[in-house]
């Protein structure tokens, strides 16, 4: 049994923000039905594709454990079918541009009135109210609007984009939390509330720790590269000096004296220039040189072995290929092998949420419309003749 067994979600989302949310919920047991436009589907199926007529990895990484139904929502009969699915569902989620759901006749107000048991979840660049709510957004736009880019990079350089998808996947995480809370409230009150997620809000929430300085001095946070709050830089080069041959470590407290001893600088232990965090901040460049001269003599994994044996928090900078081959991640099923009958075998990223002893079986993402006939037959009772007619008329 999985935690969300029995929860059915109609997924109108595409690209990353919404699909990352519904994939998490699907991994936890929800029955996620991805509603896609006939003949097209989620545009990430073909964006960045490296094989003809094969869904791209851009699509695969966000859409496992789902079903796919093709349905034309620009047609009255398509909307009628969608309403029938709403009757037997718990959640509908969308991340269309502002106003699109209203064009379909499926506004939040309509769904709340006609399907009061259904949680309406929405992810937008700037939410569903406020002066910027009509504006469109993408990952880099949201990062700029929420301040993440202003804090990332080096002081002498331009603001930098963060690669980790804090806008898209970050808002997906927030939306998943919101959906779970809304389902709980529905179960308590009998009325399903809506969930309104803004990409800007989600990034701002993740950025809250960077406001500590601004709250203290009223000034914008200065970009400081690999230095945090004025401390010495914390990323050090290693042999053989490749693009990711670096290590990061904690050099505060007792760790500092251990690193001095390891690096052949025991004579500096107790030196007033380096004997406190305040003094080391004043000598940040010299501290960096002391540590980096030592790390340059070793590989990043050698440094990891040395420091971890001493209980000093550290890690080599791991690239994406190293992560796919990481024993720890493989054992925790964060990196898995997927055997996909339609696309072959490939590696994928697993579920980061472990709930009790629940075993999550990650299944391949669906082909476009793969489950349309089955769902219309099993859930709505449509017969073969009806389904053929819907196909002929371009409804499915």
Between these two residues, 197 and 254, which has the higher pLDDT value? 197
Tracing tokens 């009998």 back to the chain, one arrives at 190
List the catalytic residues.
168
With 90 as the cut, is the pLDDT of residue 342 above it? no
Question: What are the structural domain ranges in the chain?
Answer: 8-206+328-392, 246-316
Q: What is the mean pLDDT of residues 326-353?
A: 96
Decide if 64 contacts 363 (C-beta within 8 A): yes
CA distance 310 to 307: 5
**231: Cβ–Cβ under 8 A, 6 or more apart, which residues?**
252, 277, 280, 281, 284
Q: What is the pLDDT of residues 353-368, one digit of tens each?
A: 999 998 899 999 999 9
**331: Cβ–Cβ under 8 A, 6 or more apart, which residues?**
none
Q: Which band of pLDDT confidence, cut at 50, 70 and 90, is reported for residue 230?
A: confident
Domain 8-206+328-392 CATH assignment equals 3.40.50.10540: yes
Q: Which band of pLDDT confidence, cut at 50, 70 and 90, is reported for residue 190?
A: very high
With 90 as the cut, is the pLDDT of residue 166 above it? yes
With 90 as the cut, is the pLDDT of residue 276 above it? yes
For 291, list phi and psi in degrees, rounded to 5. -75, -45
CA distance 269 to 165: 42
Superfamily grouping for domain 246-316: formyl-coa transferase, domain 3 (3.30.1540.10)
Q: What is the mean pLDDT of residues 283-293?
A: 97
Q: Where are the alpha helices (DSSP H) in 248-371?
A: 254-262, 277-282, 284-295, 300-309, 320-324, 327-331
Between these two residues, 229 and 18, which has the higher pLDDT value? 18
With 90 as the cut, is the pLDDT of residue 285 above it? yes
Q: What is the pLDDT of residue 137?
A: 96
Q: What is the pLDDT of residues 148-164, one digit of tens each?
A: 999 999 989 999 999 99
**What's the token pair of residue 349?**
């990223």
Give the strand pairing for 235-237 and 246-249. antiparallel
Q: Which band of pLDDT confidence, cut at 50, 70 and 90, is reported for residue 229?
A: confident
Beta-ladder partners of 91 = 9, 119
With 90 as the cut, is the pLDDT of residue 102 above it? yes
CA distance 210 to 311: 27
| Nearest C-alpha neighbor of 64 from the set 108, 91, 93, 30 | 30
Express as a percent the part of the chain with pLDDT over 70. 100
Decide if 179 contacts 121 (C-beta within 8 A): yes
Range list of β-strands (E), 37-151: 66-70, 91-94, 119-124
CA 192 to centroid of chain Cα atoms:
25
Decide if 127 contacts 198 (C-beta within 8 A): yes
With 90 as the cut, is the pLDDT of residue 304 above it? yes
Express as a percent the part of the chain with pLDDT over 90. 96
| Nearest C-alpha neighbor of 263 from the set 311, 305, 296 | 296
């Amino acid at each position: 049994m999985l935690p969300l067994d029995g929860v059915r979600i109609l997924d109108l989302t595409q690209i990353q923000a919404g699909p990352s949310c519904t994939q998490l919920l699907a991994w936890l047991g929800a029955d996620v039905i991805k509603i896609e436009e006939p003949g097209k589907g989620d545009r990430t199926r073909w964006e960045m594709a490296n094989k003809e007529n094969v869904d791209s990895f851009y699509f695969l990484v966000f859409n496992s454990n789902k079903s796919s139904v093709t349905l034309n929502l620009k047609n009255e009969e398509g909307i009628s079918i969608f309403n029938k699915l709403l009757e037997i569902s718990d959640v509908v989620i969308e991340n269309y541009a502002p106003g699109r759901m209203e064009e379909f006749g499926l506004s939040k107000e309509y769904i709340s009135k006609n399907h009061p048991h259904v949680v309406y979840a929405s992810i937008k660049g700037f939410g569903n109210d406020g002066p910027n709510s009509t504006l469109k957004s993408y990952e880099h736009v949201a990062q700029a609007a929420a301040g993440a880019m202003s804090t990332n990079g080096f002081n002498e350089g331009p603001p930098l984009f963060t690669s980790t998808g804090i806008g898209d996947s970050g808002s997906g995480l927030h939306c998943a939390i919101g959906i779970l809370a809304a389902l709980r409230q529905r179960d308590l009150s009998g009325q399903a509330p809506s969930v309104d997620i803004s990409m800007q809000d989600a990034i701002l929430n993740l950025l809250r720790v960077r406001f500590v300085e601004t709250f203290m001095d009223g000034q914008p946070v200065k970009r400081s590269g690999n230095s945090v709050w004025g401390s010495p830089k914390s990323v050090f080069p290693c042999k053989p000096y490749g693009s990711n041959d670096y290590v990061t470590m904690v050099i505060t407290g007792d760790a500092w004296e251990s690193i001095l001893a390891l690096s052949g600088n025991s004579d500096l232990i107790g030196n007033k220039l380096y004997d406190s965090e305040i003094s080391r901040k004043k000598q940040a460049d010299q501290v960096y040189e002391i540590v980096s001269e030592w790390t340059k003599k070793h590989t990043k994994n050698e440094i990891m072995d040395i420091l971890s044996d001493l209980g000093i928090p550290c890690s080599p900078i791991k690239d994406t290929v190293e992560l796919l081959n990481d024993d720890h991640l493989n054992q925790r099923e964060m990196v898995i092998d997927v055997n996909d009958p339609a696309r072959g075998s490939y590696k994928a990223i697993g579920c980061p949420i472990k709930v009790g002893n629940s075993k999550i079986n990650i299944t391949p993402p669906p082909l476009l419309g793969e489950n349309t006939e089955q769902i219309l037959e099993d859930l709505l009772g449509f017969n073969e003749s009806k389904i053929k007619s819907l196909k002929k008329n371009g409804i499915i």
